[in-house]
Each structure stands twice: as C-alpha cells, then as structure tokens.
Structure 1
Amino acid sequence: MNAPLHTTLARVTQRITDRSSDLRGQYLHTVETSAKAGTQRAGMGCANMAHTTAALPASDKLKIHAEKAPHLGVVTAYNDMLSAHQPYEHYPELLRAHARSLGFSAQVAGGVPAMCDGVTQGAAGMELSLFSRDVIALSTAVALSHNVFDAALMLGVCDKIVPGLFMGALQFGHLSTVFVPAGPMTSGLSNDAKAKVRQQYAQGLVGRDALLESEAAAYHSPGTCTFYGTANSNQMLMEIMGLHLPGSSFVNPGTELREALTRAAMDRAFANTGRTGAPRIRLADIVTEKTIVNGIVGLLATGGSTNHTIHLIAMARAAGILIDWDDFAELSGVIPLLARVYPNGKADVNHFHAAGGMGFLMQELLAHGLLHCDVKTVMGEGLAAYTQEPWLNDGTLAWRPVPSASADTAVLRPVSEPFSADGGLRLLQGNLGRSVVKVSAVAPEHRVVRAPAVVVSDQQDLLALFNAGKLEKDLIAVVRYQGPRANGMPELHKLTPPLAVLQDKGFKVALVTDGRMSGASGKVPAAIHLSPEALADGPIARVQDGDMITLDCERGVLEVEVDAATFAARPVNHPDLGHNGHGTGRELFGLFRQHASTPENGASPLFG
C-alpha cells in the first residue's frame, strides 16, 4: 500500500508548480489548440493526403483516406554506429505489420541523428554532442510537423537522443506517445576490470593492444552499454515517468520478450488515442510537474547521470515546467540511494534488472511516499502497473507482481536498508559560482579536498601535465573554457583515469570545471557545470595556478581562498578560442554556442 506523500516532495512540487504557472499555462494552451476533432488528418486537402500515402500499400491508403482509424508516426534514431540503436533497424517493419494486423496504419515519420559519445570522447566531435540534443528535438518536430499522426512512437536510447526526442515530442503534446527502448547488451567484461585497464594504460603499464582488447570485451554486442551512465539513466527516467511500458527498459535485444514488448508499445499508443474505446491519454497529460519530480527522484534513488542536471531541466522546460538545482538538492536530502550500479558499484544494469529492477525500485519508493502515485502513464491512471514485471506466458505477454524482496542487496536495496540516506547529488556554492557534484561513487574520505589549483583551458593540457609527471601532488584541476558558449560543453571523461591514478597514489585530488563529466562520473570528486562559465566572465576565469581552493561536498561549498578585492581586481584575459569553431562540423554550430542558456537553464539554444 502506498504511503502518504513525503512532505519534502509535496513542498518542492508545489514550488515548481507555482514557479511554472504562466509558462505551463501557455504550453497547455498550445496543446489544446493543436488537437483536432476526430483524427489529426480530418479535413486534410486531397493533394496533401495523396503525398502522405503515395508510397503505401493500397490497404493502408484506404484506411488513411477514410480518416477514421488512427495513424501512427515512428520517429527513429536508428543507426548501426551505436550498438544501442542497431536493434532498431527492423523495428519499422515489425511495427507496420503489427499496425495492419490491428486494422490501423503506421509510417516512419522521420529519422533523427544519434551520435556516440564513446566514439567522440576527447575528440573535436564531442563539442557537437550536447547540442545534438537540440538538433534531435528540432528533427523530431520536423518529422511530426506533417500533422497527419494520431500517435507516435519514439525509438531512442542513448545520451542526448532520448532528451531530444522528449523535447521535440512535447511540442506535439496533443498526441498519444510512447517511448520504445531496445535494451542493454548482455554482460561482458566487468566494468571494474575495464576501469583498471584504463588506469594501467594511463600509467603506461599496458599498451594499446591490451586496452583495445579490454574495451572490446566490455562493448561487445548490440544493445546499450551496460554501465549506469546517461543512456541507461534515460531508460530509467522514461519508465519512472510512465512513458515506457512497465519493466521494459532493461530487457535485452533480440529476445522474444523484447519483441513482444515492442508490439505492446504500439498497442498502448493506439489505445491512448481515444479512438479505440479506451480513455484518451496525451503526452501532455503524462508529463506534468509531478512526473518531472518523479524523474528527479528516480535519478537520485539510482545514482544516475549528472548529465540530467542539465537535460531534465531542458526536458521540463519543453513542457512549460521550470526546475533548478535547488530542487535537485532539496530532494536529494530525503531520497535514499537504493542502487549500486557501476560506476557507483561493481554491478551492471543486467544485474540491477535481475535483482528486481525498476519494478522493485518503484514499489519501494511508492511504499514510503517517495513518488507521486497520482499521475497518468501510458498504461493509464497511477503507477500500480509499474510495480509489475513482464513475462511470456506460453508465448503471450503478461505482467506479474515483482518480488517483495531484492534478489541481491549488494545491487538493489529496500528503503529500510539504503546504501546511503541521501541521493548523492549535491549543490556546491561559493565565490566560484554554482555547480553540482555526484558523490554516490566518491568515498567519504575523498569528499573534502583543499588543495592548490592547477589551471588549464583545454583537457589535453592537463593530460600533457600528467604524462610529464607534473601532477604528482595534492591538486584541484581547474579546467575552464569548457562551457556551452565556449566550446559546446564536451564531456571530460578522458580525465577520469589519470585523476583516479593520482588519487590512488594517496594525493588529494579533485576537478572543478565549467564543462561536463561523463554520465559515468566516478570516484574523483568533480564540481561540474560551474556557472557562470569562464567565457561569460565567471569567477573561474580569474583563478590562477596555486590559488588554494576548497571543494567540500559535505557542506556544499566551493571557494577560492583569495581576498575578495584582490580576486575581483584580477583581469580576465580570455584565450583565443577561434579553433573551437572550425572542423568536424563545428562551423555549423556557431549560433548554438552564441545562444546557449546556462547549464542550470538546460544549456539549450532553444530556450536561451
């Protein structure tokens, strides 16, 4: 039985609702004026209709021309560069056939780009990564702008893809919409073993052949990477926000259950149009202030990706909902950490799923008043359906209650026995600005670092200092000019192995940056997303080598220990960043860099 809602969740939700009132009202007005009576193509011009159906089989043309049966649009992020998206190759064929079997119709409305951050880490292409989210949002809007669809399926998994699909789809909030996962690859080389080889390579103890062998053993087949980074945090979010089918996020690709869940996603999308006798449920009905709070709770309870302290803000903004880091921090104080999945532990998402997965997690949170239960989902009213797991009963998809106990408390725990009492995400504030730090993977003895600054304006410069043996000391690495306006805010995951090596040698080490870390932020304390960024004359631009900095995760403090008058009088001499705008397509993203909002406002050029 669900407990009464925790008072902190109620207070934060009300604050968000009050703050968002005007913008949310504008959004809902747009949704109402976008919907048509009957099907979305009702009254469509004959020439327009002919273009819509020209390439379709005659049976589909008859259904669409009759303007009675629902018509579904598929927006796909398929490519076979991303292992997570490779399984989507044959989804359209499967979905079209299933729609016909139900007496409906479906088309691929459009494709969106999907880049792999694992390929571009440390390279120029990573400077397009964050803004690819907004390109995906724009591409989703283009796909659905044909305005002939009554429902939509969103096919996407990875880092910027799901947030982009979400932001774009919300501009068509009058449609019934379901997000369709593809599932994680099966477990390969353990993430812990992989991390050790990376550190050995950073120290020159093993060569490139050993590193490549290790990486290929970890990333070995179709499906999402199995660590709990942004891609798998996306899947958790879509499920806890009621946009996936229950229990579908972490079912492996290429299985009968995965295929059955994909067909069932289309069933729900058609049912939710209100044209098949079931109640109408639109995307805008699902994504509310309460749903967004549930998403934040899920992120905190699982130790999810720090990237969502940017993405969730932009995603909420697309629905007219305004959230900020104070909301994350206040909720983090009362949401217990219930999962340990790499980099917060040794297990991967397959182990998490086997231990009880999303169903057990949501069952626990609901039982202790730590989720809003009075929300709509693609399954209807409330979250009761999400405390069940899918299975095949003689080949037929069915759901059954999740176990009442975790199958492995080293991976997934009840609220009564959490890994920590809080969600492990902290807001840091001080004379350097505002930033966030994820401490769920940081040992308590490393959460307070006071050390002199080593200042660089390019991650390659810090790597060069490490390789030259010049970082064998206590230090706080200050890596600046990495914000959205400077260079598109790339992830700085390449810095994790060398900093971890220094920490393992006994040095006090931390990172301060106006850039991002990977969604797999690890054991080194990192004050990230620092705002204002250096290019906006943020205080980080005035830090000098040797300045003593305190990064205190326990008290939420980030301070440079320089007299205020002396610090303010320091000149700001921005380096030449002209190289950030050339090569690898960066020329095309100048407008995005110029108009990006701050990270706490989603780092988006769409809502700058």
Structure 2
Amino acid sequence: MSLHPTVAAVTARIIERSGPTRTDYIRRMDHARDSGVARAKLSCANWAHAFAGQTIADKLTMMGGQAPNLGIVTAYNDMLSAHQPFERFPEILREAARAMGATAQVAGGTPAMCDGVTQGRPGMELSLFSRDLIAMSAGIALTHDAFDAAIMLGVCDKIVPGLFMGALAFGHLPVVFAPAGPMPSGIPNAEKARVRAEYAQGKVDRSVLLESEVGSYHSPGTCTFYGTANSNQMMMELMGLHMPSTAFVHPETGLRDALTAAAGRRAIELALSGTCRMADVIDEKAIVNGIVALLATGGSTNHAIHLVAMARAAGIVIDWTDMDELSAVTPLLARVYPNGSADVNAFQAAGGVAFVARELAQAGNIHSDVTTIMGSGIEAYFQEPSLIDGQLVWRDGVSESLDTDILRPASDPFQKDGGLRLVKGNLGRAVIKVSAVKPEHRIVEAPCAVFETQEEVQAAFKAGQLDRDVVIVLRFQGPKANGMPELHSLSPLMSVLLDRGFKVALVTDGRMSGASGKTAAAIHVSPEALDGGPLAYVQTGDIIRVDGEAGTLEAVGIDLTTRDRARRTPAHAASDSWGYGRELFTAFRRVVTSAEEGATVCFSGEET
C-alpha cells in the first residue's frame, strides 16, 4: 500500500529541517569510513596493547591483521534483572566470532541504573542524565578504534537510548543491538495495581506490598509491563537494528542464546561486506518508523524525550509537533499494560512485533523502503525465529492476531490514533498519553493544588486535601531543576482519587513513567519552571484546564505571559542539589536542553 500522506509530509518536513545537521553528520561518517579499517591505523604497539589479554588463538588471529574484530559494549550488572543475562553474552559472541575466523572483545561497559529501584528516591534525579553518560561511556569504549563492527548489549529505560546515541558517534561502523528479553509472567498486572492502590490508602501494610512486588519482579529479564524498556526493544526492531523478532524471547532459553550468536555473526558479516553502517540504517525514515511503532503500540511517554535526543545524534531534528501529527493518523494496534491488562509475553504470543511491523507496512503507516541490518526493506521484520533440532530457523509471523483483546489489525484498531497528544497553551507545551485514559477522563478543568516535591503531594493526599476535583501541579521537576525524575510514585494515589469519583489530572515539568496510568497527565511541560516557564507563576486555586482531546493546556482566565505574570512573584526551586551523587551532575543541570529538545547535554549549545 502507498505511504500515508501525513507520514510522507512529516518525513519530508523532517528531512528539510534536518538538512544542515544531517549533511554534517554524514560528512563526518564518510570521513571516518574513508580513512580505512580502524585496526590498520593503529601502530604495532597500540594494536598489541589492544589484544594483550586475549587467548593465544585469538592473538594469532588478530596478529594476522585481516580478520574483523567485533567490539562489545555492555550494560551488564547483576542488580538489574533485565541486564543480568548479559553476564554470559560476551562468551557467546566470542565463540560466534571465532567460528567465522574473527574475534570479539568487550570494548567497555556503561552504567545501567534502574528507575524501578530509584523511584521516589533522590537517585532518580540522576536517571535521565545517565542516558547521556551512557552515550559518553559507549563513545569511550569505541574510541580505541580497534573495531570493525560493534554490538550493543542493553535493554532498559535510559540504557538503550544512551547506547544508540553513543553508537551513532561511530556510525561509520555496522552496529547491531542485542536484547536479553523479558522475564516470564508473574502475578497479573491488575492484581499488582490493586495492591499498590490499597497500600497508598493504608489498607495493607508494607509486607503485603512487598510480597506482591516480588511476585511481579521475580527472575532474570525485563519487567513485563510495556514501559520504556520494552518500548526500547520494539523500536530497535522497527528501526532495523535488531535481528527480527528478538525483543521478547525469554533470557534463559536456547533460542535466546542462538539469537545472541546470530546477532554477533550478522555484525561480522556486515563488517566483511563493508555495507550497512549504522549511519545508513538510522536516517529520517527509520526515525519516523520508530515514532509510528511507538504510537501504534501505546509505548512509553519517555520517548517523547529520548527519540528527540536519539535522532539528533544522527543529525536529525524532530519535535513534538511531528509526533502529534503522526499520532493523529497512527492506529493503536496493541493493548499492553498499562494500556491494557496483558503483559509483553501475551503480546508476543498474540503475534508480537512481527505482526505489528507487517500491519503498519501494509497500511502505509511506516516506510518499507529502508535499510536495516538485514538488508534492504522492512520485510525481514515480518518473520519470527524458532529453534528446531538446535538450528535457528526463520518463518513468517502470524498473519492474524491470535488474541484480538491484545493485538488488532490496522483495519480494526483499538482506536484510530496513537494516543500521544501534544497539549499547549499559556502554560507551555507538554505531552499527554491518552491511550490508557478513558475518554471521559481526558478533559479536566478544576482548581489546582500546587506542589514542589513529590513528598508534598503524598502528604496532601494522606491528609485528605486532594479529595475533590483537582489539577495537581508539580513543578521544578524539569531537567535544569533536578534532572527530571520520573513521578510514577504518584500514579497510585491519582488512581485512587479517580476511583473515588473525582476529576483529577497532573500537570508537571517532570516525567511520569513508561507505565503512565489511567489519569490524565500533561507532562514534560516546556519551558520548565526553573527556566522561566509559566508554571513558576501558577498559584493554588487557579483554574487549570487539561484537554487531551482538543490539545489544550491552559490557566483559565489568567495571562501568565504578560499582565498577570507581572503581578505574581515566581516560586523558586526547593530541590537539594547534593547527596546520592547529585552534586557530580551540577554541570549537566546548567547546560541541559529543554525536554522538547531531548533534555540532553550531548548537543546543548549546538544550532539546529
């Protein structure tokens, strides 16, 4: 089917807008490619240093100077369930390389922190900044210039966007991403949400909550809700950096190990062929495909920030207007928690990414004429792997959904749009994820209650001060103020207020989670309060209108740009800037760009 005209128009606009920066990026990547094979440029002493710690057999291969050397960048640690499987992946990749007469080395590691552990804690203020630090760490790993291709091992929230950004600095190389997969399903998501809501109301104690959480997060692998981590994996496939349909294969299986080995072999094949560098895979069409796939599956709101920074790393400039226009014409094909009750394992069983890729391509919602690590075109991503008699076999994915409560065709979607909206008005620009919010809860106009910390909101809730129709305004949570922590700990209490029959919404310059829930939340408000944004002038009792249908974010009857702003004294940030490592990121807070510009320090100060 021909490309949808809106998708074509948005892509054309992105190409035009990105002309200077994309041209400069490709020029730099061409220069790096044309300077020759990396290891050939190293002196004998430098090259000897690079493989001094290898096995004798690998040393002999590397001394020959002809075999490709694969650089592994890993986000392994064994505190994160999603990253624990990466402990064994390097050896799988080394063996795969040796079987092809090549070598593989761990080039370096990156930090990998977990928002699930730091949620509601001071360490969450480092979470978003960790993405750019990961990008820098990946750059340090690959800057040894001893590699012909790279493979990136990462799964979770900031890790994959950071690896993506860092790898693009070496976009003259072929780069493959290899995931670890989700843990098996635990207790039902509805049960988990019920216990969290009861704990927020004081109906159950901490031991009951902990038992529920342990039942949810119980083994190696990614958390099974469709948050940022699993959104990452889906997008890596639709942007052509994974082996097909590898995102949601469980970690501790023979199939996962076979797919990891296949990813290493593919990276080496691309190095030998001299084709398919990352700079060619990630172009404007690939970025649009990633956005559309995110929207079609009801993915994480965090990518309204991450995708901007990720695209910029390839010289591509996108904004929330692009996402909003694409969302308006993207059918919602999936209902996965928090947009539904099913988890990613059920999504995979119903048809998974292969089904989504085929449906979007055939409906004309994504570009099919793209370059991927599998070659030309998107069709390879309609396939699924299986392990038969120890051999990896690829077959066409299902042509019809096996569970239409979870996954639907483009001809009969859950809704006709993608559910991510741009809202704007005299409070600034923000995004709101309406795909998980019932239509009757998408428009809220009520007096606001203004807070400057999560703890203040929680205290007001416990005191019964929010038992009314209310717009909760939580400000000074932007990247410049405190690193833009996720505010997911507020989701249970807002759900309780909604269940009590009140109209409730959240307006914040901070982030919610990839697990953004059933209440209207206008998030990432830009400009942020600390950067002169109107939120700094809002006062408790002001009437705020959040309209996820019309795209409105307004302080009703107040002019916060001129007259009424002059009559009000702006509030000031109350957040600490020290402790838990926060003082180490002072420079980041000073130079970070706005949320709509990707909340990044990697490209701050550069003209777009």
TM-score > 0.5 by shorter chain: yes
Q: Secondary structure at the match of 2:576?
A: helix
- State how far apart, in whole Å, the 2-side matches of 1:323 and 1:576 are: 29
What residue in structure 2 maps to residue 387 of structure 1? 382
**Equivalence for 2:313:** 318
Q: Is the 8 A contact 1:437 1:528 kept in 2?
A: yes
Counterpart position of 2:53: 55
Residue of structure 2 equivalent to 1:607:
603
CA distance in 2, matches of 1:552, 1:36: 52
Structure 1 residue 485, shift from structure 2 partner: 0.2
Question: SS in structure 2 opposite 1:321?
Answer: coil
In the TM superposition, what whole-angstrom CA distance separates every residue of 1:500-532 from its partner, at most 9, and x where no partner exists? 100000000000000000111010000000011
Task: Give the Cα–Cα distance (whole angstroms) in 2 for the partners of residues 128 and 43 of structure 1.
Answer: 38
Show CA shifts across 1:137-162 (max 9, x none). 00000000000100000000000000
Q: Which residue of 1 aligns with 2:526?
A: 531
Q: In structure 2, list runs of 5 or more residues that go unmatched.
A: none
Counterpart residue number, 1:161: 159
Cα distance in structure 2, aligned partners of 1:109 and 1:572: 52
- Kept after mapping to 1: 8 A contact 2:324/2:422: yes
Q: Which residue of 2 aligns with 1:490?
A: 485
Distance 1:481 1:576, change over 3 A: closer
What residue number does 1:25 align with?
Answer: 23
Match of 1:69 among 58, 61, 67: 67
The equivalent residue for 1:558 is 553
Paired residues of 2:138 and 2:167 also in contact (CA < 8 A) = yes
CA distance in 2, matches of 1:475, 1:84: 37
Q: Is the 8 A contact 2:478 2:509 kept in 1?
A: yes
Q: How does 1:349-388 map to 2 (within 5 A)?
A: 349-388=344-383
Moved over 6 A (4+): none
1:511 matched to 2:511: no
Which of 226, 236, 239 is the matching residue for 2:237? Answer: 239
Q: Which amino acid aligns with 1:222?
A: P
Distance 1:12 1:576, change over 3 A: closer
The aligned amino acid for 1:25 is: T
Matched residue SS, 1:184: coil
2:579 aligned partner: 583
2:190 is matched with: 192
Distance 1:227 1:556, change over 3 A: same
**Equivalent of 1:446, from 433, 441, 444?**
441
Deviations 1:546-585 (A, max 9, x none): 00011111100010013325422233434354x5211000
Q: Write the distance in 1 (CA, Å) between the matches of 2:415 and 2:310.
A: 28
Give the Cα separation in 2 of the matches to 1:227 and 1:563. Answer: 40
Tell me the amino acid that sits aligned with residue 72 of structure 1: L
State the 1:404 CA deviation: 1.1
Normalized against structure 2, the TM-score is what? 0.98
Answer whether contact 1:542 1:570 (CA < 8 A) is retained: no
Output the CA distance in 1 between the equivalents of 2:113 and 2:42: 36
Identity of aligned residues (%): 60
Asked whether 1:301 is paired with 2:296, we answer yes
- Render the CA deviation track for 1:220-251: whole Å, top value 9, x for unaligned: 00000000000000000101101000010000
CA RMSD of aligned residues (A): 1.0
CA contact (8 A) 1:246 1:385 kept: yes
Q: Aligned equivalents of 1:567 and 1:525: distance in 2? A: 27
Q: Counterpart in 1 of 2:462?
A: 467
- State the AA in 2 paired with 1:219: Y
1:279 Cα deviation after fit? 5.9
Structure 1 residues not aligned, in runs of 5+? none
How far, CA to CA, are the matches of 1:432 and 1:6 in structure 2?
33
Instruction: Pick one of 517, 520, 523 that aligns with 1:522.
Output: 517
Contact 1:39 1:69 in 2 (8 A): no
**Which residue, out of 418, 425, 434, partners 1:423?**
418
Q: Deviations over 1:80-109 (max 9, x none)?
A: 111000000111112112211211001000
Is the contact made by 1:173 and 1:283 (CA closer than 8 Å) also made in structure 2? Answer: yes
Pick from 163, 170, 173: which aligns with 1:172? Answer: 170
**Deviation, structure 1 residue 586:** 0.3
Query: Quick one: structure 1 residues 560 and 203, their matched pair in 2 at CA, closer, same or farther if it must change by over 3 Å?
Result: same
Q: Given that residues 63 and 104 in structure 1 are in contact (C-alpha distance below 8 angstroms), is that contact kept between their aligned partners in structure 2?
A: yes
Q: Structure 2: how far apart are the matches of 1:290 and 1:574?
A: 43
Deviation sequence 1:341-363 (CA, Å, 0-9, x none): 00000000000000000001111
Q: Which letter does structure 2 place at the counterpart of 1:202?
A: A
Secondary structure of 1:372's aligned partner = coil
Query: Relative to 1, partners in 2 of residues 1:59 and 1:39: Cα closer, same or farther, differing over 3 Å?
Result: farther
The corresponding residue for 1:597 is 593
**CA-CA distance at 1:60 after TM superposition:** 1.4
Q: Match for 2:599: what amino acid?
A: A
Q: CA deviation at 1:43?
A: 3.6
Pairs aligned (count)? 602
1:34 shift after superposition: 1.1
